[in-house]
Amino acid sequence: MMWVFYGLPIVHPDSTLIITINAIGLFIETVYVTIFFIYSNKRSESMFVGILCVVFNIGMYVSPLTVMSMVIKTKSVKYMPFTLSLFNVLNGIVWMIYALLKFDINVLIPNGLGSLSGMIQLILYAWFYKNHWDDDEKATQKVQLSEI
């Protein structure tokens, strides 16, 4: 589906082959999954959809890892917004509590990992927070010195 989106003229011009081939593949996969859901028993259907949810949810939570590596390399939180990190951990904790109450393993696994990832982000933010302001102060000092 993402390749179909990528192949759209507003995203990537002159990509007729990409959109054609992937649209056909998307249609075939949609038919296959529809037939699978019609004829599968509900328990295995729930497990299949649950596994997909776990995979995509983990992807959502670990996507800030690239920013976290940049924070460690630059020793600055300039590119990691605090509110995003805070609400990432809060969201993970709330859903993890829900999963523990209902004991839903498909909700517990990704949100437990998401809570951990969010806590690591907050720890990094606290650790490198002062460096972020040092960079801003240095930039201000350079501007002031150049004006003199």
For the domain that residue 130 is a member of, what is the CATH number? 1.20.1280
Structural domain count, the chain: 1
For 90, the domain range is 61-147
The count of C-alpha atoms lying within 13 angstroms of the C-alpha of 78, restricted to the half-sphere facing its C-beta, is 12
The H or E element containing residue 90 is: helix 82-102
- The answer to whether residue 106 sits within a structural domain is yes
Directed axis angle between helix 65-74 and helix 105-147, to 10°?
40
At residue 68, the pLDDT reads 81
Whether pTM exceeds 0.75: no
121 lies in a domain? yes
- The span from the CA of 89 to the CA of 84, in Å, is 9
In a domain? residue 29 = no
Question: 85 in a domain, yes or no?
Answer: yes
Determine how many CB atoms are found less than 10 A away from the CB of residue 64: 21
Tell me whether residue 54 is in a domain: no
Residue 24: pLDDT band with limits 50, 70, 90? very high
7 belongs to a structural domain: no
Q: Is residue 22 included in any domain, yes or no? A: no
Q: Which two tokens stand for residue 108?
A: 């517990």
- What number of CA atoms fall less than 13 Å from residue 83's CA on the CB side? 0
Q: Is residue 1 a part of any domain in this protein?
A: no
Please report which confidence band the pLDDT of residue 56 belongs to, taking 50, 70 and 90 as the band edges. Answer: confident
| pLDDT band for position 147 (cuts 50, 70, 90) | low
Average pLDDT over residues 68-96: 84
